[in-house]
Amino acid sequence: MEGVERVVRVLKPFKLASRDFHPEDTVITVNGARIGDQPVVVIGGPCSVESREQVFEAAEIVKANGGMIFRGGAFKPRTSPYSFRGMGDKGLELLAQIKSSLGLAIITEVMSPEQVPMVAGVADILQVGTRNMQNYALLDAVGRSARPVMLKRGMMSTIEELLMSAEYIMSNGNEQVILCERGIRTFETTTRNTLDVSAVPVLKELTHLPVFMDPSHASGRARYVNALSRASVAAGADGLLIEMHPHPEMALSDGAQSVSPDVYTQTIADLRRVAEAVGRSL
Amino acid sequence: MEGVERVVRVLKPFKLASRDFHPEDTVITVNGARIGDQPVVVIGGPCSVESREQVFEAAEIVKANGGMIFRGGAFKPRTSPYSFRGMGDKGLELLAQIKSSLGLAIITEVMSPEQVPMVAGVADILQVGTRNMQNYALLDAVGRSARPVMLKRGMMSTIEELLMSAEYIMSNGNEQVILCERGIRTFETTTRNTLDVSAVPVLKELTHLPVFMDPSHASGRARYVNALSRASVAAGADGLLIEMHPHPEMALSDGAQSVSPDVYTQTIADLRRVAEAVGRSL
Amino acid sequence: MEGVERVVRVLKPFKLASRDFHPEDTVITVNGARIGDQPVVVIGGPCSVESREQVFEAAEIVKANGGMIFRGGAFKPRTSPYSFRGMGDKGLELLAQIKSSLGLAIITEVMSPEQVPMVAGVADILQVGTRNMQNYALLDAVGRSARPVMLKRGMMSTIEELLMSAEYIMSNGNEQVILCERGIRTFETTTRNTLDVSAVPVLKELTHLPVFMDPSHASGRARYVNALSRASVAAGADGLLIEMHPHPEMALSDGAQSVSPDVYTQTIADLRRVAEAVGRSL
Amino acid sequence: MEGVERVVRVLKPFKLASRDFHPEDTVITVNGARIGDQPVVVIGGPCSVESREQVFEAAEIVKANGGMIFRGGAFKPRTSPYSFRGMGDKGLELLAQIKSSLGLAIITEVMSPEQVPMVAGVADILQVGTRNMQNYALLDAVGRSARPVMLKRGMMSTIEELLMSAEYIMSNGNEQVILCERGIRTFETTTRNTLDVSAVPVLKELTHLPVFMDPSHASGRARYVNALSRASVAAGADGLLIEMHPHPEMALSDGAQSVSPDVYTQTIADLRRVAEAVGRSL
Q: What is the pLDDT of residues A181-236, one digit of tens each?
A: 999 999 999 999 999 999 999 999 999 999 999 999 999 999 999 999 999 999 99
Q: How high is the pLDDT of residue A1?
A: 44
CB contact under 8 A, D7 and B10: no
**Best residue in D12, D156, D197, D268 for a mutation probing chain C (most C CBs within 10 Å):** D197
Task: Note whether B179 and B166 are within 8 A (CB).
Answer: yes
Task: Note whether A196 and A189 are within 8 A (CB).
Answer: no
Of A2-16, A93-107, B131-145, C231-245, the least confident: A2-16
Contacts of A201 in chain B (CB under 8 A): 223-224, 227-228
Indicate the pTM of the whole model: 0.94
CB contact under 8 A, A200 and B277: no
* pLDDT, average across residues D253-258: 90
Task: Note whether A7 and C4 are within 8 A (CB).
Answer: yes
CB contact under 8 A, D8 and B6: yes
Q: Does the structure show a pLDDT above 60 at D50?
A: yes
d(CA A115, CA A77): 13
Give the distance from residue D278's alpha carbon to the nearest chain A alpha carbon, in angstroms. Answer: 34
Task: Note whether A259 and A267 are within 8 A (CB).
Answer: yes
Q: What percent of chain A has pLDDT over 70?
A: 96
Selected residue with higher pLDDT from B136 and C5: B136
d(CA C74, CA C88): 5
Give the distance from residue A32's alpha carbon to the nearest chain B alpha carbon, in angstroms. Answer: 27
Contacts of A187 in chain C (CB under 8 A): 185-187
Task: Note whether B70 and B27 are within 8 A (CB).
Answer: no
d(CA B65, CA D252): 57
Longest dimension (CA), chain A: 71
Question: Between β-strands C105-109 and C125-128, what pairing exists: parallel, antiparallel or unpaired?
Answer: parallel
Which residue(s) pair with D109 in the sheet?
A: D127
**Best residue in A1, A2, A8, A192 for a mutation probing chain C (most C CBs within 10 Å):** A8
d(CA B145, CA C69): 40
Q: How high is the pLDDT of residue B11?
A: 57
Give the distance from residue C162's alpha carbon to the nearest chain B alpha carbon, in angstroms. Answer: 9
- What is the DSSP-derived secondary structure letter of residue D194? B
Pick B81's closest partner by Cβ from C111, C135, C171. C171
Task: Note whether C134 and B44 are within 8 A (CB).
Answer: no
CB contact under 8 A, C134 and B134: no
**Residue B7 pLDDT class (50, 70, 90 cuts):** very low
Residue type, B129: G
* Mean pLDDT by groups of 10 residues along chain C of 282 residues: 45 87 96 97 97 98 98 94 93 98 98 96 98 96 98 96 97 98 96 98 98 97 98 98 96 92 98 98 95
Give the distance from residue D276's alpha carbon to the nearest chain C alpha carbon, in angstroms. Answer: 8
Q: Please indicate if any CB of chain D lies within 8 Å of the CB of B188.
A: no
Q: Does the structure show a pLDDT above 60 at B127?
A: yes
Interface of A with B in 246-275 (CB under 8 A): 270, 273-274
Interface of B with D in 153-182 (CB under 8 A): 156
Give which of D181, D187, D261, D161 is closest to D228, Cα–Cα: D181
| 3-class secondary structure, C107 | strand
**Residue A11 pLDDT class (50, 70, 90 cuts):** low
Pick A137's closest partner by Cβ from D79, D111, D161. D111
**Residue B4 pLDDT class (50, 70, 90 cuts):** very low
